[in-house]
Structure 1
């Protein structure tokens, strides 16, 4: 698609300079930008590349001398990443509704809102409800009794189980799974893991009389608030009795696991390979870095940031920045790491001091 400089500035809610009627076909990095591209040079670090490019229009940093850079038009932005959000949305509009593909299975008991796009080999179970303008791509399946709000977008291969309920503008990336049964089993007597936890490893584990795992079914479904996004190949399991919940505006990256009965607050970020064990609770605006993990049945307060690969085994209060395995606050973690780095030299110093102690004194 093409947009004018004026169109783009309006989408970004900012100011355009120069010839705002220039027509542009795509955003591009300065080194790759042609005469009909919009160069992205939102910090002074791109000044030289922009001056050497063929671009006639660019998004530039506040205070840039865009005319000296050889441009005919420029758009200034105060916050680069925020500008990228609006810019990419402007150049990637939703396609026109396509209706219901003839290979899709849509039972009469389903309710489909206005202007749907339901792609090839989609399967809706009995009683599914779709809001207006939902976009359901190829090979998606939605289980019995599930509901989607308006403007939801389920990418190819996504799976939604039974009794899952989405707000408006929910996005599932390819092969995401919502509402699978939780990983929940019980043995007749105490299991090895229960006995190990009770004894804290002080007693050896012997074979149980009956180690058969009896499956606990998940009846609670999943509830997503508005504007939740779930990444490719990520899973959010159904609750056992009550639903697993993900709050409004939360974004979940690829390859993330959210266990059964978890409750996630609003505007959280869960980065790639993060994992929540069952019945955990995250407050609002929590950040889980890549490969961070939480133990079951713990609560993380509001505005907590967990660095990558953090292993959290206890509940934490609001506003902490934690890291490490096991997790601790950042100042404590840094102090520990500094101490560990000094250990080799400290051991050498101790060995040198021991050599200086007379043998007679050393034997006292």
Structure 2
């Protein structure tokens, strides 16, 4: 099934021109677009691609001369990526999961399954679980005892939801994610080498044998509404209180949230971010890929951390940071400039040393 240009423009609240009854079935990059595609060229840089492809309609930047590009219809958008969000929502059919409980699913008789829920094959749902209406749960998902999942959830293949985890509405969980595993929490009977190093910042009286005693995780995990968790990401349960993720936060693939971590609302945590136990992250924080956050520190509201930044101390609200250890981005840029000058500086110093040495010999 396709959509007319009129339908798409109306859904996006966008201006359109040309044959508004033209039907498109899919989106494509301009140069690869066929006659049934909506070419995506929201920037003038992609105009040449339209001429190379066969699209009859395109999504274009504001003010584009669509007729000069040989198109029969066009949609004009002021903010391309935002329009992409709406268009992709229209065109994405989503996973095909029948709106029934599959006969090969194992559902505990005490579980409550909301109206219109879709439960795929080989799903296991434990005792006292509550699944909201219109939830879609794909194959091989396991949901442990006492978990609660809100309305309109989408949980994809192989995800694991632990005991007593509470999740809000419109949750999206990608394949292989694990929410509610035990936290990584251990202690030694005597003061450990790690504790000693933290106190002395490097000094050790002696190196001695030590063994680790497990601290069990009695808390769980609580996720707000509109949270997304990427493939193979993990969120550990809390030790006593719950690990918490606020409304609207989006978590990429391969992200690790340790026990007791508190993440605010509308955060964006990119791939391979690691947040150590008991760290607190404010609202609207953006952590680029491979950012690391030390345990027991606070990252304030609206902080933006560039990729591979290592946050070892509290970061004040609104700060833009970069580097290891994290500093203001402009400071890190100056550091990088200075590092690039080091070979030249070293050569200058060597030349000065040689000149001083020669002068000393002549004297």
TM-score by length of 1: 0.96
CA distance in 1, matches of 2:340, 2:16: 53
Task: Provide the aligned length of Structure 1 versus Structure 2.
Answer: 362
> Contact 2:31–2:51 (CA<8 Å) still a contact in 1?
no
Q: Which residue of 1 aligns with 2:86?
A: 86
* 2:23 is equivalent to residue 12 of structure 1: no
The correspondence of residues 151-190 of structure 1 with structure 2, limited to 5 A, is: 151-190=152-191
When residues 359 and 67 of structure 1 are mapped into structure 2, their CA distance, relative to the original with a 3 A threshold, is: closer
Q: Offset at 1:11?
A: 1.8
Q: Is the 8 A contact 1:29 1:39 kept in 2?
A: yes
Q: Distance in 2 between matches of 1:355 and 1:234?
A: 57
Q: Match of 2:139, SS? A: coil
- Counterparts in 2 of 1:363 and 1:343: CA distance versus 1, 3 Å: farther
Between the aligned partners of 1:127 and 1:61, the Cα distance in structure 2 is 52
Unaligned runs of 5+ in 2: none
Q: What's the counterpart of residue 321 of structure 1?
A: 320
State the 1:360 CA deviation. Answer: 7.6
2:311 paired residue number: 312
Q: Secondary structure at the match of 2:6?
A: helix
CA contact (8 A) 2:97 2:119 kept: no
Q: Structure 1's 206 and 57: CA in aligned 2 closer, same or farther, altered over 3 A?
A: same
Q: Tell me how far 1:58 sits from its aligned partner.
A: 0.8
Task: Describe the superposition over 1:226-250 as per-residue Cα deviations: whole angstroms up to 9, x where unpaired.
Answer: 1100000000000111100001110
Structure 1 pair 96/102, CA: closer, same or farther in 2 (3 Å)?
Answer: closer
Pairwise CA distance, 1:93: 3.7
Q: Shift of residue 5 of structure 1? A: 1.0
Residue 154 of structure 1, CA deviation: 0.4
Shift of 1:8: 1.1
Mapped to 2, the partners of 1:72 and 1:164 lie a distance apart of 52
How far does residue 202 in structure 1 lie from its aligned partner after superposition?
A: 2.0
Per-residue CA deviations over 1:145-172 (Å, capped at 9, x if unaligned) read 1101100010000000011001100111
- Whether the aligned pair in 2 keeps the contact of 1:97 and 1:115 (CA below 8 Å) is no
Residues 326-359 of structure 1: CA distance to partner in whole angstroms, max 9, x if unpaired? 1111121122222222222122112212222256
Contact in 1 for aligned 2:97/2:136 (Cα 8 Å): no
Residue 350 to residue 240, structure 1, CA distance change in 2 (3 Å) = same
Structure 1 segments (4+ residues) deviating >6 Å: none
Per the alignment, residue 247 of structure 1 pairs with 246
- Corresponding residue for 1:3? 3
Would the alpha carbon gap of residues 96 and 340 (structure 1) be closer, same or farther in structure 2, given more than 3 Å must change?
closer
- Between the aligned partners of 1:123 and 1:260, the Cα distance in structure 2 is 25
